[in-house]
A and B are shown apart, each in its own frame.
Chain A
Amino acid sequence: MRSHAKRLPSRPVILLLQLGVLIAFFLIWHVLTDTKILSPFFFGTPGAVLARTWADFASGVIWYHLGITLLETALAFVIGTVAGIAFGFWFARAPLVSVVFDPYIKAVNALPRVVLAPIFALWLGLGIWSKVALGVTLVFFIVFFNVYQGVKEVSPVVLANARMLGASSRDLFRHVYLPSALSWVFSSLHTAVGFAMVGAVVGEYLGSAAGLGYRIHQAEGVFDTVGVFSGMLVLTIFVVLIDAAVTVIEKRLLHWRPQDTSGGQH
């Protein structure tokens, strides 16, 4: 039987096509800079960028900076998530608190967090904590709003049913509110992890002595385009790997949810 929808090719073919796009991108870049249509000074050359990246990994200097960025990302994510869950629950279960603080939460959330970076640097110095703080302000609100929503959205029938089955308020927390809230948190995991990293890298970029953002900033300071692109390349690979890890975790934690029917929650 033929299906009406256009059939997609098999997975290996798709992977090959995706790889093709990557190679084509590097080839075009190479040709354009090799023929001097684009200046290698401003655009680097793929050969030089790959060679630089390879050298950085081979000599080991990059690992230290990767480690710093990863540590900042992880700390921002964990602290922001824990705080977001705690406050999300508190606000959802205490209507007065949520009503009173509502405009302030909205105001702070509307503030572009980058402007806080210099303040955090002033308060917390140029070490990792000013970057963590910046990441936390980003992660916190995503998790906070999702937990708040998750607690509010619990079906009243599911809740009533659990109570009829004899659930105490502790049971309700553990068996009803928490799973519901966590499902919203997990579904925003990609965004939260991404923002934790944005906080770390932007913080490093604006003032620090280590990390991927610092490396890129350094290279920019001396018009080292190859260094900038190499830094971006490492950052991209790093992001893709973390995102893949998040996808795996998400699949494991949200297997009870129907796929692709309800749309996303963000």
Chain B
Amino acid sequence: MAEAAAAAPALQLEGVTCTFPSPDGRGRSYTAVQGASFTVADGEFVSIVGPTGSGKSTMLNVAAGLLKPSEGRALSFGQPVTGINPKAGYMFQAEALMPWKSALDNVAAGLEFRGVSKAEARERAMPWLSRVGLEGFGDRFPHQLSGGMRKRVALAQTLIVDPKIILMDEPFSALDVQTRQMMENELLDLWAADRKSVVFITHDLEEAIAMSDRVLVLSAGPGSRLIGEYRIDLDRPRDVAEIRMTPQFLALHQEIWAQLRDEVLKGYAQTKLR
């Protein structure tokens, strides 16, 4: 039993289709994702790239158990996802911090929800704040932090509860290049330390290649499908800045970009049409 659970993939999407009713309740409904199937092994770092509006966030919501797919299903460590996926941590694309809690209390929140006393939760949140470079910012409220700082608080908030699989929706897109590379390396270190599974969504193909074991490419919507899968056999541990200079990296980038470019153009045309 335990053996089987250990062998089960961290995340498995089986023929997931997501159809949204049109906003006015009449008209045609909109199918964002069509029959998406993929697997993320335990301890694997997988990136999903795709043009805007292709349903990346939608798939992550299905994996998190926040959205019930119209067809198909999601499994996490062998368990069908019904309701909130308790093994998953989710770093949202949009602002998700509680504005009435200080940075420290936001990081501590997950522990409090798990029954840890407030004092102890704060105690344990401190080192997480310094890990994301926000030592001394603990008593600031979200509106007193920069967009990048808020993202870092969100990262600490997600990681402190030690999720088995981390779903990240464009976590670093708001950061400047230097901070971003620092955070990317930090995330890789954290990941290497206890090999959680990561599903990482990004617009940035270079970021996807630099971080991942595998890159999945999504077609433009409506009815996005997975159209490409690339294994990234670059050596680890990696430094995200240095690895971009290596010939293997460039070759992979060229190969994936050739496919992605067409989809991005299609996706852009679609968005303009709608």
Binding site for B on A (CB under 8 A): 155, 157-158, 160-168, 171, 175-176, 179-180, 183, 255-258
Contacts and interface: CB of A to CB of B under 8 A. Distances in A.
Interface of A is mostly: helix
Contacts of A176: 98
Nearest to B96: A161
Contacts of A165: 89, 109-110, 113, 157-158, 161
B204 interface: no
B95 A164 contact: no
Contact of A162 (B109, B143, B158): B109
Interface of B is mostly: loop
B99 A257 contact: yes
Contacts, number: 74
Interface in B116-150: 141, 143
Given A157-B95, A256-B141, A164 B84 contact: yes
B90 interface: yes
B92 A157 contact: yes
A168 B66 contact: no
- 10 nearest CB pairs, A to B: A161-B96, A165-B110, A179-B100, A258-B143, A166-B113, A256-B141, A164-B90, A157-B94, A167-B113, A256-B100
Interface in B190-248: none
A155 B92 CA distance: 12
Contacts of A155: 94-96
Interface residues of B, number: 27
B86 interface: yes
Nearest to A182: B100
B66 A160 contact: yes
A166 B86 contact: yes
Contacts of A258: 143
A165 B66 CA distance: 12
B143 A257 contact: yes
B83 to A, nearest CB: 9
B109 to A, nearest CB: 6
A164 B114 CA distance: 12
B96 A171 contact: no
A160 B88 CA distance: 13
B62 interface: no
A162 B64 CA distance: 13
B141 A166 contact: no
Nearest to B64: A164
Contacts of B112: 171, 175
A241 to B, nearest CB: 29
A161 B92 contact: yes
A90 B247 CA distance: 62
Contacts of A164: 64, 66, 84, 88-90
Contacts of A167: 109, 113
A183 B94 CA distance: 22
A219 B103 CA distance: 57
